[in-house]
Copies of this chain bind each other. A is one copy, B any other.
Amino acid sequence: MTQRKVVLAYSGGLDTSAIVPWLVENYNAQVHCIVADVGQGEEELQGVEEKARRSGAASCKVADLKAEFAEEYVFPTLIAGCQYETTYLLGTAIARPVIAKAQVEYALEVGADAVCHGCTGKGNDQIRFEAAFAALAPQLDVIAPWRIWDMHSREDLLEYLRQRDVQTTASAAKIFSRDRNLWHISHEGGPIEDPWNAPPGDVWMLTENLEKTPDDPEVVRLAFEDGRPVALDGHALDAVELIERLNVLAGRHGVGRVDLIENRVVGIKSRGLYETPAGTVIVAGLRALEELAFDRDTRRYREHMATTFGELVYAGKWFTPLRLALSAAAESMAVRLTGEVAVRLHKGHALVEQRRCESALYDPHLASFTDTPLYDQKDAGGFIRLWTLPQRVEALRLMRDASQHAKARS
């Protein structure tokens, strides 16, 4: 067996710890690990290089992708509408292309002939990784161990590592499958697989349970430029810092939970719990600006476009012509989204209470009772008569038909 060179998206968790020796044994592979730091936190990153090497990796590179992730993936998704199936803020989905891109770059750097990921064969992430590989480096082979090997459980993996004397802190008793980054954390599996079970109170990690949130509300002020959040309570912050701080503020008030049964790309329905504290506040703020700035046509189109954009991101189609085209449209719209909002964080709510926008179409004089030079109420009569013309034409025809029937009968 000729030796292969494989770059693995490595997390230090149980799955990828087992994949390293498995690649060595089954592909005679030199395994190079890439650890993408997208904000999953210190605990996960600490000692990860050492861990990789102990598993048998030839190299392990930790890449800090946090700023790239926030600015080039999260925010473009934000201004394009940002949701899948109405409520999921795409936290896991958006992280995949930036990780896969770093993985491909490392593969080209070390001259690898294959890339490998630890995603299961039932989820979306395998698609997101492999779609990015297809677009960025179609010449590389893709190895997806979970679709190949005969191991089917955490016990199997632990046994596999034990036989090879690879130490791991992982235990067989992990209840939830989780994915965490700067933008969010997701929880799947365990008791919530039964839709008749309420989410247990101890599943959440970024957001406080309602019972323990402060009784007093807290108001934060967010400033936006061209649809991007740029300042918090008057302090200009870079994307990563702003999200991190806002996660703390909003999480403390229990803001940003979602409990969703969603349709995976592979046709399976699954239940996910999501926590996106900062994201929820930012989205609420941006919506409030959009309400001020977008005319009806633009708002409606953006709503439709957002559905498509969300599906593209969810399905791993980041590096595609359509995603690029929709981003171009979204950027064009977002030039109107410069302004400021005040958001009240309280008992799980992020309520925008105050808003101003440089490009506001809202005009209190127009909305109020009285006339203004811009609006003459008499104009509404003409508007309505034309607006309802087809209904009138049809109704008159029906009356005419009915009277002819009546005549014919008599």
A336 in contact with B321 (CB, 8 Å): yes
Q: For A324, list chain B residues within 8 Å (CB).
A: 332
A329 in contact with B325 (CB, 8 Å): yes
Cβ-based interface call for A370 (8 A) = yes
Bound form: Cα–Cα A347–B214 in Å: 12
Bound form: Cα–Cα A359–B397 in Å: 8
Cβ-based interface call for A380 (8 A) = yes
Among A51-59, A162-170, A294-302, the stretch in contact with B: A294-302
Cβ-based interface call for A268 (8 A) = yes
Cβ-based interface call for A390 (8 A) = yes
Chain A positions 338-395 with a Cβ under 8 Å from a chain B Cβ:
342, 344, 346-349, 351-356, 359-364, 366-371, 374-395
Shortest distance from the beta carbon of A387 to any chain B beta carbon, whole Å: 6
Q: Indicate the size class of the contact surface on chain A.
A: 35 or more
Q: For A367, list chain B residues within 8 Å (CB).
A: 122, 188, 193, 268-271
Per-residue B-contact encoding for A390-410, CB less than 8 Å = 1, 0 else: 111111110100000000000
Q: For A359, list chain B residues within 8 Å (CB).
A: 394, 397
Cβ-based interface call for A139 (8 A) = yes
Q: For A148, list chain B residues within 8 Å (CB).
A: 378
Q: For A86, list chain B residues within 8 Å (CB).
A: 287, 303
Bound form: Cα–Cα A295–B135 in Å: 13
Cβ-based interface call for A267 (8 A) = yes
A366 in contact with B295 (CB, 8 Å): no
A349 in contact with B351 (CB, 8 Å): no
Chain A positions 123-155 with a Cβ under 8 Å from a chain B Cβ:
126-127, 130-131, 134-139, 144, 146-148, 152-153
Bound form: Cα–Cα A307–B332 in Å: 19
CB < 8 Å neighbour of A322 from B199, B211, B298? B298
CB < 8 Å neighbour of A138 from B120, B268, B327, B395? B395
Shortest distance from the beta carbon of A179 to any chain B beta carbon, whole Å: 15
CB < 8 Å neighbour of A301 from B177, B316, B322, B387? B322
B363 in contact with A131 (CB, 8 Å): no
Cβ-based interface call for A3 (8 A) = no
Given contacts A122-B380, A153-B369, A298-B325, contact A138 B199 (CB under 8 A): no
Cβ-based interface call for A189 (8 A) = yes
A388 in contact with B131 (CB, 8 Å): yes
**6 A-B pairs (CB sep. < 8 Å):** A138-B392, A267-B388, A317-B391, A322-B333, A325-B332, A379-B386
Binding site for B on A (CB under 8 A): 85-86, 120-122, 126-127, 130-131, 134-139, 144, 146-148, 152-153, 177, 188-189, 193-199, 210-211, 215, 217, 259-263, 265-271, 287-288, 291-292, 294-301, 303-304, 307-308, 311-312, 315-317, 319-322, 324-333, 336, 342, 344, 346-349, 351-356, 359-364, 366-371, 374-397, 399
